[in-house]
Chains A and B, each alone.
Chain A
Amino acid sequence: MDNAIVAGVGIHPFGRFGDKPYTEIGREAVIMALKDAGMEYKDIQAAFVSRMYLPATAGVKTLSTLGRTSIPIVDVEAACAGGGACLRQATTAIVSGMYDVVLALGVEKMPRGFMDPRQLYEGWQTYAGLTQNTMYWAMNACRHMQDYGTTIQQIGKIAYKNHKNGVNNPFAMFRKEMPMDEIMRSAMVCDPIRLYMICSPDEGAAAVILVNSKVAKKYTRKPLTLAACSHRVSAVPFYNVAGYTNYPTGNLPITTTAAREAYEKSGVGPEDIDCAEIQDTDAFCELEHYEQLLFCKPGEGGKLIDDGFTEMGGKLPVNMSGGLICKGEPVGASGLGMVFEICLQLRGESGPRQVKDAKIGLAQSYGSMGHVTVTIIKQ
């Protein structure tokens, strides 16, 4: 199999942009990535476009504004893991030798007001009032606090870390440091998870252009190797949006399964990761993911944040971008937004967010119904 190389990355800031059409939001990320890769749109041979809350054929509607070049354009949806799933499709297209230049774009414009729960839940769950995404994260936190003594302060510290990191991210929606007591006293949403520990839906786009290593020299001055891109869907049990029944089978969490596959494929271990962007739809998710990505043992996620392990300047900085808590969660785009940040880090282009000597980075996204993607990129 051939290697996939990241030739260019682009982004449209995440936030709220009034009436700006999603096609323009997506297009801007692609134009930035093309410029970064030193190529023109007609060099793209295939495109995968991750989106969830957009109408059909959103990929074509967005990319045809750059030219109808008759390439295959496929929309991909895997809830919040869509960006990673999309990247995996692009990776597969490259390493199989089928295409030399492939675009992975994630674009989203979440509707204003409430998210229609019927996108994720059965009708009866909605009638029964059982459709708050936060209730799953809250119950996972509740169980973890019982089993391991994890505290709400540790969860709050992760929110505090991400809010602080987001100040340095010009592409993030929220860029304000938030004092710990403001986080800990914010409105309770689903006990024990409070408002400032949770991300918001919003809008944005991120693009990654992959090329076959055989042609990489033509396109990029700073090649990054896409060493692994795993996409797995959870077995039973998964204690997450939007399930209603489980059985404790003893199966490993799907994030661990996907992470092990990615570590093995890329020939590195968690101890080799220099920086990571991981799913923090709420601050407890991030803690849980430390353990499931094997950054530490089960139950030790709280210790990791207490020890400053995942802070800027710590042994393994996590969510240098401010995470979803600061960027918001434009569902189709967020997984690629994580990859964008990792690529900047490995190229030494993250400015005030820069992790010193970052050589190997990891991006993990997790979506409703048990989607998870783990991407490892190397210098």
Chain B
Amino acid sequence: MEKIIRKNIDTLELPFASGFLSEPLKPRENIHLLGTRCLNCGVVLLGSRDRCEACASPMVKIIQLSRRGKIWSHTVMRYVSPWPFAIPNPHQPPMPVAWVQLPEGVQIISRINCNPDDLKIGLPVELVIEKGWEDETGNDILMYKFQPEKKERK
């Protein structure tokens, strides 16, 4: 009798960390970043929290964040960062990075999928969720990035 050996039939799509991405994770275009809005001081920060990091209040609400924002500041990483993992480093310079500001007021550090020359303060950008890397068991890890907003066709 033949024994069929299968590998990795059960690889999953997992979020890069818990509490940052809305569920379900399919379809990807429907995923929103999650934030925490403080009902006491109004601050909004990325991620799901049970306390406001700004004022320490427990009166917080988890919200879905807008998918569109603007670049608040930017840089281009010209070197890869140190990579302390067994899995191969997927990153290649140059790597645009920005503080992106969303309409809720929250600012988020993000890689930007664009040409380094296109970066500018005020550039409209939109969320994209894509595979960031694979973990040790071969699962696809979903990560957020932003890219220049696609202009609508007239």
Contacts and interface: CB of A to CB of B under 8 A. Distances in A.
B133 A127 contact: yes
B63 interface: no
A133 to B, nearest CB: 10
Contacts of A236: 43, 45, 53-54
A188 B99 contact: no
Interface in B70-85: 72-85
B123 to A, nearest CB: 12
B111 to A, nearest CB: 7
B107 A191 contact: no
| A: contact size bracket | 35 or more
B44 interface: yes
A143 B133 contact: no
Most chain A C-beta atoms within 10 Å of own C-beta, residue among B41, B73, B141: B73
A116 B82 contact: yes
Given A132-B77, A142-B75, A245 B85 contact: no
B52 to A, nearest CB: 9
A339 to B, nearest CB: 31
A70 interface: no
A190 B76 contact: yes
B129 interface: no
Contacts of B80: 129
Nearest to A251: B54
A131 B81 contact: yes
B121 interface: yes
A60 to B, nearest CB: 28
A139 interface: yes
B97 A245 contact: no
A122 B17 contact: yes
A128 B16 contact: yes
Interface in A105-121: 114-118
B132 interface: yes
Interface residues of B, number: 42
Interface string B87-98: 000110001011
A146 B121 contact: yes
A249 interface: yes
Nearest to A122: B17
Nearest to A237: B107
A130 interface: yes
Contacts of B77: 129, 132, 134-135, 189-190
B62 interface: no
Contact of A126 (B41, B84, B121): B84
A249 B97 contact: no
Nearest to A115: B82
Contact of B54 (A122, A126, A128, A249): A249
Nearest to B16: A124
A135 B97 contact: yes
A116 B83 CA distance: 8
Contacts of A127: 16, 85, 132-133, 141, 143
B138 interface: no
B25 interface: no
B105 to A, nearest CB: 6
B141 to A, nearest CB: 7
A132 B84 contact: no
B75 A190 contact: yes
B46 interface: yes
Interface in A198-247: 235-237, 239, 243-247
Nearest to B109: A244
Contacts of A123: 17
A140 interface: yes
A33 interface: no
B124 interface: no
A189 B90 CA distance: 19
A18 interface: no
Contacts of B143: 124, 127-128
Given A140-B73, A191-B78, A118 B84 contact: yes
B78 A190 contact: yes
Contacts of B43: 236, 247, 249
Given A122-B17, A236-B45, A247-B105, A189 B91 contact: no
B51 to A, nearest CB: 12
A244 B73 contact: no
Interface string A234-270: 0111010001111111000000000000000000000
9 contacts: A116-B82, A117-B84, A124-B143, A128-B16, A135-B77, A142-B121, A146-B121, A246-B106, A247-B43
Given A131-B81, A143-B99, A247-B45, 13 more contacts: A122-B17, A123-B17, A127-B16, A127-B85, A129-B77, A130-B81, A132-B81, A139-B74, A139-B75, A189-B78, A246-B106, A246-B107, A248-B105
